Structures are given as structure tokens and as C-alpha cells.
Amino acid sequence: MGVPQDAARRSFAMHAGGSSNGKAVQEDPAGEPDLLPAEAVVDLAAARREAGIDAVLGSLDTDLVGLEPVKTRISEIAALLLVDRVRARFGITAQQPTLHMCFTGNPGTGKTTVALRMAELLHGLGYLRRGHLVSVTRDDLVGQYVGHTAPKTKEVIKRAMGGVLFIDEAYYLYKVENERDYGGEAIEILLQVMENNRDDLVVILAGYADRMDEFFAANPGMQSRIAHHITFPDYTVGELEQIGELMTTTLGYRFSPQAREVFREYLDKRVGQPWFANARSVRNAVERARLRQARRLLEQPDPRVDLAALTTIEADDLLASRVFGTPNP
Ligand SMILES: Nc1ncnc2c1ncn2[C@@H]1O[C@H](COP(=O)(O)OP(=O)(O)OP(=O)(O)O)[C@@H](O)[C@H]1O
Ligand SMILES: [Mg+2]
């Protein structure tokens, strides 16, 4: 982001005044929060800009293809927090809303990426002190022996304080078939922290929808602490194509017109094949095309290259893929 988050937050704190958790309270010399009189009028558009919401939502929109329901929910959350802040300027101090979330979707649908953006946004809004993301799986939280789990889980929570704790494939924390499993201990500690430290830590659980449902059924305490269930749909081929274009452009490449056609065929085939992982498969395809392009350039009889050659992915760079049945990609 262009504007440092801290600057955005400070300026927001200056303009928006009070906060229910005392993090962004502007005090007058007497030490009292500087409240607005009841007849005051606040410009929400200005408050939005100052909190950096427009910048984060704008880049979310341009950097991420599709995901409309996800984008809508995020802007709703941003609106809620902003309105909360403005209410606090008038002295209405409600409890901070709970923001623990669950992201369900297949691999490569953007869950980790959106969690990072969410951390940024919540930091910009002054909800999170640091706005970093700590991404973990079961192995980071659960120990192998008696007494190992609590310190492990607490250490992770400590690292995540002030930011987002992202627990990927959260259902692995809980193993129904195994009584001696220590996952339950980690869940207990998490539940406490999610309740007691919710103004300083946002927990995002992520995973496949059906497995998450089972997990919640077995852990109702967890279910009741999650305020937002956000579904990440699979991308359409058209969206995958746009994601590929976006990725190549960002990397400083472009598809030749023929390559663009081949890329579409590639995606048509790839979505039906094993281990398809949405945007992650697109990223991998683009990376392999880069490798083949580089090899092609080095192997061509005339060793001289121009900018166009260096930046163009040709049809052959994609056609060599295993997806088209080529034995040695
Ligand atoms: N909507 C999108 N637009 C552009 N790029 C995207 C989009 N969604 C995902 N990506 C890119 O695809 C890759 C995979 O995304 P990400 O890691 O966020 O998915 P994920 O749902 O966390 O996957 P997994 O379940 O495998 O962890 C990243 O490089 C990300 O930048
Ligand atoms: Mg991920």
C-alpha cells in the first residue's frame, strides 16, 4: 500500500476520536476522551478515506478476479467497523463486534490471499494493532506428548496477537476416532482466547466446506464464536483465464494471440483433471510456461532477443504441457 498503515490509522484516530477498547482514543488535556456533541454531523465519506478503506477495497477489487460474495461481505464488515468508530465519537461505546471467521472453499480459491487482505483492512480500521497474519496448521498447535500442546498453542497465539491467526484445514485439530489426541486441548485454549481477546486477535478457520461442517458439529463452542462464514466458490474457466492474464501481466509477460487461445484450451482441460486447484493451478501453469519460454529463448538458433521476445509467452510454451498429453513437459 502507498500510505503506511500506521499513518492511515493515526489520522483516522485523530479524526474519528474515541474507541470502545481505548486503542485509538484522542484525549483532551484533562485526560477525557474528546466526544462530539449530540448535534454534530460526521462526514462518513471522509472517515472512509481516512481509515484507508477505499484503498484496501479498491485493490481487493482490482487484484482479485471474481469472488463477488467475498468482496461484498468484506465491505460490509468494513462499513460496520467504520460506523462503530463514528458512533464511539458520540460516546456510544458498544462492545467490539466479534470478527472471527470461517473461510470455506476448495484449494486455490483465494482463502489465504483474502485473509491477508482482511488483516490489512482490520489494521487500517484500527481494529487490529499490528495487522499481520500468522498462518498455521494442526502441527503448529498440537504436540505429540502430554504437556506439549498448551505451550505450543500459546506460543502461536502470542505471535498472532494484534493480528490474524489463520488456521488452515482447521478440522485436523479434531480427530473423532482418537481419544488420546491432543487437538482438543488446543481447541480449548483457542476458544478461551477467541472469547477473551477478541479485541486483539481475529481467528480465521479455513478448509473444505463439508469437513468444516463436521468440525463445527463436533465443536459447537467453535461454531458459536464464528461471526462470519464466508464461502469461496470455484472459479469459472473465464475467471481462471482472467486470473492467468493478471498473473502474467504482473510478472511482466503477455500471451501471444495464439498462446491466449491455447491457454483457454489448457484451462478447459485442466479443470477436469486430478489435483486441479483453481487459481493455484493457474499460477503453476504460468510459472511452467515461464520456464519453457526461458528454455526456448536459450535454445533458439539466433541468440539475440528483444523486449518482445523476452516478454511473450508463445503457444508452444503452453502446448508442451502434460495437460495436452505431452509425455515430457
Ligand atoms: N481471485 C483471484 N484473483 C487473482 N489471483 C488469485 C485469486 N484467487 C487466488 N489467486 C492466486 O492464486 C494463488 C492461490 O491462492 P490462495 O493461496 O489464496 O488460495 P487458498 O484458497 O488459500 O488455497 P489452499 O486451500 O490451497 O491453501 C495465489 O497465488 C493467489 O494470489
Ligand atoms: Mg491457503
**Is residue 111 scored above 80 in pLDDT?**
yes
**pLDDT digit string (tens) for 251-268?**
999 999 999 999 999 999
Q: Which residue has the cell 478457520?
A: 205
Same-domain status, 282 and 138: no
Least confident of 36-50, 101-115, 234-248: 36-50
Assigned C-alpha cell, 221: 463452542
Please name the residues in contact with 50: beta carbons below 8 A apart, sequence gap of 6 or more. 8, 11, 12, 15, 16
**pLDDT digit string (tens) for 187-210?**
999 999 999 998 899 999 999 999
Instruction: Name the pLDDT band for 134 (thresholds 50, 70, 90).
Output: very high
| DSSP code, position 275 | T
Q: Which amino acid is at 275?
A: W
Same-domain status, 11 and 28: yes
| Residue 179: predicted pLDDT | 67
**pLDDT digit string (tens) for 144-159?**
888 899 999 999 999 9
Same-domain status, 194 and 243: no
**pLDDT digit string (tens) for 310-322?**
999 999 999 988 8
Please name the residues in contact with 60: beta carbons below 8 A apart, sequence gap of 6 or more. 71, 74, 114, 117
Count of CB atoms situated within 10 Å of the CB of 32: 9
| Residue 221: predicted pLDDT | 93
Say yes or no: CB of residue 64 within 6 Å of ligand 1.
yes
**pLDDT digit string (tens) for 295-307?**
999 999 999 999 9
Instruction: Name the pLDDT band for 9 (thresholds 50, 70, 90).
Output: very low
Q: Which amino acid is at 146?
A: V
CATH number, domain with residue 223: 3.40.50.300
| Residue 178: predicted pLDDT | 66
Kindly report the average pLDDT of the chain as a whole number: 88
Say yes or no: CB of residue 283 within 6 Å of ligand 1.
yes
CATH number, domain with residue 312: 1.10.8.60
**pLDDT digit string (tens) for 262-292?**
999 999 999 999 999 999 999 999 999 999 9
Same-domain status, 183 and 248: no
Same-domain status, 141 and 55: yes
Please name the residues in contact with 73: beta carbons below 8 A apart, sequence gap of 6 or more. 228, 230
Q: What global pTM score does this model have?
A: 0.85
* Domain total of the chain: 2
Residue 49 CA from chain centroid, whole number: 22
Is residue 329 assigned to a domain?
no
Say yes or no: CB of residue 117 within 6 Å of ligand 1.
no
Instruction: Name the pLDDT band for 326 (thresholds 50, 70, 90).
Output: low
Q: Which atom of ligand 1 is nearest to the CA of 279?
A: 12
| Residue 327: predicted pLDDT | 55
Say yes or no: CB of residue 289 within 6 Å of ligand 1.
no
Q: How far is the CA of 219 from the centre of ligand 1 (A)?
A: 28
Q: Which atom of ligand 1 is nearest to the CA of 169?
A: 25
Give the whole-angstrom CA distance, residue 91 versus residue 71.
30
Q: How far is the CA of 49 from the centre of ligand 1 (A)?
A: 27
Q: What is the dihedral sign for C-alpha 284, 288, 293, 295?
A: positive
Say yes or no: CB of residue 162 within 6 Å of ligand 1.
no
Say yes or no: CB of residue 108 within 6 Å of ligand 1.
yes
Same-domain status, 176 and 262: no
Same-domain status, 270 and 151: no
Which ligand lies nearest the alpha carbon of 62?
1
**Is residue 19 scored above 90 in pLDDT?**
no
Domain that holds residue 277: 237-324
| Residue 15: predicted pLDDT | 39
Contact between residue 263 and residue 92 where contact means Cβ atoms under 8 Å apart: no
- Judged on CB neighbours under 10 Å (0-12, 13-18, 19+), 153 is buried
Which ligand lies nearest the alpha carbon of 107?
1
- Judged on CB neighbours under 10 Å (0-12, 13-18, 19+), 167 is buried
Q: Residue by residue, what is the 3-state secondary structure of 107-125?
A: CCCCHHHHHHHHHHHHHHC
Q: Whose CA is nearest to atom 18 of ligand 1?
A: 110
Same-domain status, 173 and 210: yes
Chosen domain end from 204, 232, 260: 232
Same-domain status, 215 and 245: no
Same-domain status, 151 and 17: yes
Is residue 190 assigned to a domain?
yes
**Is residue 228 scored above 60 in pLDDT?**
yes
**Is residue 122 scored above 60 in pLDDT?**
yes
Higher pLDDT, 111 or 22: 111
| Residue 110: predicted pLDDT | 96
Pairing state between β 202-207 and 101-105: parallel
Q: Which atom of ligand 1 is nearest to the CA of 232?
A: 21
Same-domain status, 29 and 135: yes
State mean pLDDT over 120-138. Answer: 92
Say yes or no: CB of residue 101 within 6 Å of ligand 1.
no
Of the residues 280, 281, 282, 283, which should be mutated to test ligand 1's pocket, given the most ligand atoms within 8 Å of the CB?
280
Same-domain status, 34 and 141: yes
Say yes or no: CB of residue 110 within 6 Å of ligand 1.
yes
| Residue 23: predicted pLDDT | 41
**Is residue 51 scored above 90 in pLDDT?**
no
**Is residue 104 scored above 90 in pLDDT?**
yes
